[in-house]
């Protein structure tokens, strides 16, 4: 693999413009070799931004031999499951891939994509950036070697989102699995308004012994992403992405990522930057993935169990 990894970016919409392309532009170890976007206007902008890159309108036009890895950032929304075909093609071509979550809004398709990764022995990672976010990392480290007894989490905001539990709440459900193990028992309520998953209150029992609760509302006054962990005289209170309070036998420490670096970017606060560096290391063969495709699949399966409550 060359000194600078050649990255193909498939889907150059909102999250690409806001997060991934700025990270790639500032990276010393990677450069954009190809961009794929269905929008003619977007392609015109990309041609100016990356004059040496191949700018394409369809992922099927991508030459897999001309890239070392790929980012699949196309949307998953009602009537459009745009991760599925590009990821399958990349797996068959042997191109290491980081795909935005969820791999698919459909569980059967997610299973097919993971099976393709395993059959072709090709790296497939799903973006679960909370595992790389500084506040969640601090909470994980605080409980390393200690048993979590209680995990209470919330992921709320305003306005309906297509398949909210799989496409948005998946972040927090994955973090709960990461910190507590697999959920053996899942019960509770989920209410819909038409096709919109509006609110949920869920209880879980994890195989590590922890009891968990998860609540979600799309009727909140603001974005809220919180997690509270208790166990063995320890507490971690995560208010993502800006703060975590760590308590040990009454001694309290409040930590903010910005204490370590003046004005972190949102990509750093939410863990995107660290996740991308890790993906590049895995693509090079220097590291093993923290989150395998099969691990990501289990988070999708948990999300579907929550969806089934409604």
> Is residue 221 domain-shared with residue 137, that is, in the same domain?
yes
> Is residue 262 domain-shared with residue 168, that is, in the same domain?
yes
Rounded distance between C-alpha atoms, residue 209 and residue 302, angstroms: 17
β-strand partners of 8: 34, 70
Point out the domain boundary residue: 126, 153, 185: 126
Point out the domain boundary residue: 126, 158, 186: 126
Closest CA to 111 of 127, 93, 87, 95: 87
For 181-217, write each residue's pLDDT tens digit: 999 999 999 999 887 899 999 999 999 999 999 999 9
pLDDT at 276: 98
| Burial profile 290-305: b = 16 or more Cβ within 10 angstroms, e = fewer | ebbbebbbbbbbbbeb
What are the 10-residue block averages of pLDDT along the chain, 310 residues in total? 89 95 95 96 95 94 96 83 94 98 94 98 98 98 98 94 87 97 98 91 97 97 97 98 96 86 84 98 96 96 97
> Is residue 168 domain-shared with residue 302, that is, in the same domain?
yes
Say if residue 141 is exposed, middle or buried (CB neighbours under 10 Å; 0-12, 13-18, 19+): exposed
Overall domain count for the chain: 2
The residue assigned the tokens 């190809």 is: 34
> Is residue 144 domain-shared with residue 84, that is, in the same domain?
no
The β-bridge relationship of strands 30-36 and 54-56 is parallel
Closest CA to 105 of 38, 169, 11: 169
35: CATH: 3.40.50.720
> Is residue 295 domain-shared with residue 257, that is, in the same domain?
yes
Range of the domain at 87: 5-126
> Is residue 93 domain-shared with residue 134, that is, in the same domain?
no
* Secondary structure E strands in the chain: 5-10, 30-36, 54-56, 69-72, 76-77, 80-81, 97-99, 124-126, 150-158, 183-193, 196-206, 211-217, 219-231, 234-239, 243-248, 251-255
Who contacts 284 (Cβ-Cβ below 8 Å, separation ≥6)? Answer: 1, 5
Both tokens of 70, joined, read 């790929």
> Is residue 186 domain-shared with residue 204, that is, in the same domain?
yes
The β-bridge relationship of strands 211-217 and 150-158 is parallel
For 162-187, write each residue's pLDDT tens digit: 778 998 999 999 999 999 999 999 99
Point out the domain boundary residue: 57, 91, 126: 126
> Is residue 134 domain-shared with residue 246, that is, in the same domain?
yes
Length of the chain (residues): 310
């Amino acid at each position: 693999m060359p000194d600078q990894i050649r990255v193909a970016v498939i889907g150059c919409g909102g999250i690409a413009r806001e997060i991934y392309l700025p990270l790639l532009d500032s990276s010393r170890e990677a450069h954009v070799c190809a961009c794929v976007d269905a929008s003619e206007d977007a392609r015109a902008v990309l041609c100016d931004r990356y004059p040496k890159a191949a700018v394409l309108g369809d992922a099927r036009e991508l030459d897999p031999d001309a890239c070392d890895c790929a980012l699949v950032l196309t949307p998953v929304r009602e009537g459009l499951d745009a991760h599925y075909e590009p990821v399958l093609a990349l797996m068959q071509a042997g191109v290491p891939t980081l795909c935005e979550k969820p791999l698919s809004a459909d569980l059967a398709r997610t299973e097919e994509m993971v099976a393709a990764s395993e059959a072709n022995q090709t790296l497939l990672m799903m973006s679960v950036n909370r595992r790389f976010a500084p506040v969640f990392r601090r909470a994980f480290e605080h409980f390393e070697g200690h048993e979590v007894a209680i995990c209470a989490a919330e992921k709320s905001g305003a306005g309906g989102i297509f398949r909210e539990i799989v496409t948005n709440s998946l972040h927090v459900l994955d973090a709960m699995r990461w910190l507590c193990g697999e959920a053996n028992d899942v019960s509770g309520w989920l209410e819909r308004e038409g096709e919109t998953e509006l609110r949920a209150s869920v209880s879980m029992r994890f195989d590590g012994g922890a009891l968990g609760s998860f609540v979600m509302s799309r009727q909140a006054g603001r974005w809220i992403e919180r997690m509270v962990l208790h166990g063995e005289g320890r507490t971690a209170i995560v208010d993502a992405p800006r703060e975590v309070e760590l308590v040990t036998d009454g001694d309290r420490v409040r930590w903010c990522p910005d204490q370590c670096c003046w004005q972190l970017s949102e990509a750093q606060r939410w863990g995107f930057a660290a996740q991308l560096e890790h993906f590049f290391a895995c693509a090079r063969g220097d590291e093993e993935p923290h989150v395998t495709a099969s691990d990501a699949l289990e988070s999708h399966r948990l999300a579907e169990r929550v969806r089934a409550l409604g």
